[in-house]
Amino acid sequence: MPINPKILQVGKQLLSQLAAKIPATVFGIEKQKYIGFDIVGTLSNDHKLILIKFMNSILLRMREVEASDVDLGGWASKSAVWFRIHGDKKPFKEFGAFTIDECSILIQSLVMESQRTELYENRNLDFSYSFDVGNNGTVARYRADAYLDLDSLALNMRAINTQIRPYEGFGFDNHVTRIVSLAHTKEGLILVTGITGSGKSTTLDAIVDLNNRTVDAHIIIIASPVEFVHESKRCIIRHREVGRDTQSFKKGTIEALRQDPDIIIIGEMRDPDTIISALEVVDSGHKVLSTLHTSSAVESVDRIIAEVPPVEQERVRSRLSDVLRCVISQKLVPTRDGRRVLAKEVMVVTPSVRAAIKNNNINEIYQMISEGSKVGMNTMEQDLKRLYLERKIAIETAFSYANNKRRMQQLIQPM
């Protein structure tokens, strides 16, 4: 269903009128402050509602065409709204053209005054956005990032699934399921890794849901921002958004220890303080799940150790070898029919893997993963080969997404 023409017309008229009020003498961040304080900050409730409905209509249209992301604003957008549909990002002409100033007004109308202040100070703002869809209680949620593009304001919003993909559909081995389930493993660190847009959050949510359906426990999710909001079933599930409910990942992680948790989800181990705090929490006997922006299990181990100061690296290496239980590295790979499918590498920390981490023999781990199918392990190349044999992806795609091109050639060549 296309966007409501009346909402489009009224919204664009209002944006045009508001943009005309911006003096030609303000530039850069001072222009953004003028928009925030003197235009958006003085809007009537009726005008705010018009802009919110306008943006909500774009976001609903985004879901209808199965887009994962929407981008608008900034010099690079060339006055268009862009959608990423099944991996490809293209301008969506249905909404017409927007000036840079109109987009800046629209973007700033979506956030609170305190968030606008943070945006001006940091030139970037991560936030969550949600609204009710219809009268059936359904809430559409989005992860958003506002930032500057050549002194103009730009926005990316990613749609968060309204339904959880069942854990059972991921095809994990029973050994892996026992590791991620609190019913079988009460402690340890589990990592889900991949580049941005690889589905890490979807996998984490599925693991949370598995535990929510099967054990009686307390789960604390620390995220920036909070994406999917889980309904407490057998578990109490707390959602703490960095910047709103807690000051940082590090503080949220430490605070969680005083909140009687069984599982702590740390949205991202993005800095040395968070990494060290996470290892300390796991050392205290808790189960911790987190993410990294890495493309393989071996790279994930290297990244954690390299992120901390050199004087801490040996200690962190030793602790990591003791507490790490599993690393799932994943990619969303284009299929033959133009959609995307999950390819994953799984490392289970066996005694041999643990010894390799502790003794800094990281280069031996890849071979251990490739030979570890009995305990649920496989390399990215082995999983890409599986998808190729199932005729889900083309051979060129398998090579393109392989971490180890030489190993991919060896796996495919005998065929």
Question: For all residues of the chain together, what is the average pLDDT?
Answer: 92
The confidence score (pLDDT) of residue 228 equals 86
Asked if residue 268 has pLDDT above 80, the reply is: yes
> CA–CA separation, 345 vs 328, rounded Å?
6
> Do 356 and 362 touch, CB atoms closer than 8 A?
yes
- Domain count within the chain: 2
Q: Are residues 378 and 298 in the same domain?
A: yes
Q: Are residues 367 and 218 in the same domain?
A: yes
DSSP string covering 342-367: EEEEEEE--HHHHHHHHTT-GGGHHH
Mean pLDDT of 313-328: 95
Percent of the chain with pLDDT over 90: 75
Q: Are residues 226 and 190 in the same domain?
A: yes
How sure is the predictor about 398, in pLDDT bands with cuts at 50, 70 and 90? very high
Asked if residue 415 has pLDDT above 60, the reply is: no
Q: Are residues 294 and 203 in the same domain?
A: yes
The confidence score (pLDDT) of residue 40 equals 95
Asked if residue 392 has pLDDT above 70, the reply is: yes
For the record, the structure tokens of 121 come out as 């100070």
Strand order of the sheet with strand 340-348? 235-241, 217-223, 263-266, 287-292, 188-193, 324-334, 340-348
> Do 188 and 323 touch, CB atoms closer than 8 A?
yes
> CA–CA separation, 79 vs 97, rounded Å?
5
- Domain extent, residue 84, equals 5-160
SS3 content of the chain, % helix, strand, coil (to 5): 45, 25, 30
The confidence score (pLDDT) of residue 405 equals 94
Q: Are residues 179 and 225 in the same domain?
A: yes
pLDDT digits (tens, 9 = 90+) for 6-58: 888 899 999 999 999 999 999 989 999 999 999 999 999 999 999 999 999 99
Q: Any idea what the CATH number is for the domain that residue 231 is in?
A: 3.40.50.300
Q: Are residues 28 and 111 in the same domain?
A: yes
Q: Are residues 261 and 151 in the same domain?
A: no
Q: Are residues 229 and 322 in the same domain?
A: yes
Q: Any idea what the CATH number is for the domain that residue 135 is in?
A: 3.30.450.90
pLDDT digits (tens, 9 = 90+) for 64-77: 898 999 999 998 99
Three-class SS of residue 218?
A: strand
Q: Are residues 333 and 370 in the same domain?
A: yes
Q: Are residues 64 and 101 in the same domain?
A: yes
The confidence score (pLDDT) of residue 1 equals 45
